[in-house]
Amino acid sequence: MPAVRMKSLKIVAGALVAAALVVAPLVTAGATADGPTAPPTAAVADGVPQLVKWVPKSNGAAYWEDLYSAHMVKCYKVDGPNSSGHGSVSTDGKTVTLNRFDQSWPGDHWELLVIKAGDLWNSVIVHPAAGVAYDSPVNNGGQQAQVSHWIVCKGQTPEDQPRAVTPTLTWTLPSCEGEGELFQTAGVTWLSAPGANGSTIWMATPAPGNVFPQGVPTQWTVPDLSKLTENCGSDEPEQQPRPQTSESSRTTVDCTSATATVRTTTTTAEFVWDETAETWQPGEPSSSEVETDRPLTQAELGTCPLVPGEIQSVCVGDVPYLGYAVSLPEGLVVDSSTPVTITFVNPDGEDYVVANQPLSGKLLWPGASDGNPKMWPGWDLVDGEYVQTDGNFAWTRAGVTVEFEVNPTYATEVEYPQATVLCANPPVGSGDEPAGTPTSTDAEALAVTGGGVSPIIVAAGGTALLAGVAVVAIAAYRRRHARAE
């Protein structure tokens, strides 16, 4: 047959095939055996797998080259679940992943990927993307089958279409003899911007007439290559690690001098080169100590005890009181003129607590009353007569611990006035004098000496102190936190 006629027939045949590709229905995962026998055309969405009915001749790479000759493709077949320089099959044998397209290869992009599995279908992907795991087709049982072979084709973008370019950027570390190098894909416009820690951010955009495939990276961060020099044969790395350091401190509070002593211990371990392990190792640690003094903080002053003055029971007329004076630790500042809380500690029950008191003054004894009728602790008024009782704070008569608290605390034991003192008990019996009333001589003596009454007690309204003062056992004041560490 003449050559001209053969060429005409080939053109006609190609047109028929192209027409068949346009009108042939594409097959999905649920397609039947009546699906198309030709691959999808470039009109199909890029990177979308399509099931195409298997025919024996579709097993050859030339079959696909003929169908895609318009893009000047070169196809390669890989038998079985094997890998090649173009891509690889997963360990379970059910997916194929292409490598990044090398611009030194024929063509300029991946044109086609054909995955054969089972005995019914080819899975055909037009313009597959590198790095994507494409599934094999299903077998006649509807299960994903093992890859029996796969075919990959390279394409050349026609001159009237944008050329597909995959941007890549790699670099080498500087050696002892030279500097590091960057390798950037041609046909790409590269822009740079400074990054963190001396690095450089490179951004890629297509040069005129070129396009990037979908999903390819377009930005890279390149470290400062001048700081990544390869080891030039030295027995030690270029930079010794910084020493390991740790600090600990201990604070001692002295309330007497209102100072705090801080002892700071610093431990340092230098790194030394280990010839055997060929690495830096922490050396023996060494310690140093520094001691400094500073004034106490308000919080620290709050741990110091109150400073006591005279604290004792007193009588004003026939009424018992607690007279007291305490001072704040030197330097402590409070925001109230009545910061003191006074507590009579009940060893067997509920305490008696009075808040918002000044730093010095007198406080009516628990169970006592200076009004009408007057009352005394351990006594009750029944049918107009005073009778003794275990109630009405009788527990305060045998010596009681009294605590004074602002934030600092002070505690001491205070004795109730003795029975011979005028204010100890109420008047009882047939007479008008209270039981245990002192003689006139005793009264005169009390009036003269004051019975040891503290000068902190001031008789209100000019009232004289008529009764004596009980024996007071003022214990050495205790400190809640005499020395805080």
pTM of the model: 0.38
**Helix (H/G/I), strand (E/B), else coil: 442:** helix
**Bond from prior residue into 373 cis (ω within 30 degrees of 0):** yes
Domain shared by 195 and 259, yes or no = no
What are the residues whose beta carbons fall under 8 Å from the beta carbon of 470, sequence distance 6 or more? Answer: 312, 313, 415, 416, 417, 418, 421
Domain shared by 283 and 341, yes or no = no
Domain shared by 123 and 182, yes or no = no
Tens-level pLDDT at each residue, the chain (485 residues): 444 333 333 333 344 334 333 333 333 333 333 444 455 544 456 778 988 888 999 899 888 888 777 677 789 999 878 888 899 999 999 999 999 888 888 887 888 999 999 888 999 998 888 888 999 999 888 889 899 999 999 988 777 777 777 888 887 777 665 666 778 877 789 998 998 877 889 998 988 878 888 788 889 888 877 666 555 555 555 577 888 888 888 989 888 888 989 999 988 888 888 878 778 888 888 888 899 998 988 888 888 888 889 999 988 888 999 999 998 888 888 888 899 999 999 999 999 999 999 999 999 999 999 988 999 999 999 998 999 999 999 999 988 999 999 877 777 888 888 766 778 888 765 334 444 333 333 332 222 222 333 333 333 222 223 233 332 323 333 333 333 33
What integer best gives the mean pLDDT of the chain? Answer: 75
Instruction: Please report whether residue 237 resides in a domain.
Output: no
Q: Which amino acid is located at 45 in the chain?
A: A
Instruction: Please report whether residue 485 resides in a domain.
Output: no
Place of tokens 């318009």: 70
Domain boundary among 118, 134, 155: 155
Instruction: Please report whether residue 471 resides in a domain.
Output: no
**Helix (H/G/I), strand (E/B), else coil: 14:** helix
Instruction: Please report whether residue 125 resides in a domain.
Output: yes
> Are the CB atoms for 93 and 147 separated by under 8 Å?
yes
Domain boundary among 131, 155, 179: 155
Domain shared by 398 and 446, yes or no = yes
Give the tens place of pLDDT for each residue, 375-416: 999 999 999 899 999 999 999 998 899 999 987 777 788 888
Instruction: Please report whether residue 236 resides in a domain.
Output: no
Domain count of the chain?
Answer: 4
Instruction: Please report whether residue 59 resides in a domain.
Output: yes
Domain shared by 206 and 75, yes or no = no
pLDDT at 454: 37
CA distance 434 to 432: 7
> Are the CB atoms for 221 and 199 separated by under 8 Å?
yes
**Helix (H/G/I), strand (E/B), else coil: 251:** strand
Which ranges of 273-381 would DSSP assign to H, the alpha helix? 298-301
Domain shared by 38 and 181, yes or no = no
Domain shared by 364 and 422, yes or no = yes
Domain shared by 222 and 271, yes or no = no
Domain shared by 21 and 104, yes or no = yes
pLDDT at 277: 76
pLDDT at 45: 65
Domain shared by 126 and 72, yes or no = yes
Instruction: Please report whether residue 457 resides in a domain.
Output: yes
Burial per residue of 208-218, b for 16 or more beta-carbon CB atoms within 10 angstroms, e otherwise: eebebbeebee
Domain shared by 314 and 216, yes or no = no
Domain shared by 349 and 373, yes or no = yes
What is the extent of the structural domain holding 206? 167-227
**Helix (H/G/I), strand (E/B), else coil: 460:** helix
What are the residues whose beta carbons fall under 8 Å from the beta carbon of 259, sequence distance 6 or more? Answer: 293, 294, 295, 296
Instruction: Please report whether residue 386 resides in a domain.
Output: yes
Domain boundary among 254, 275, 295: 295
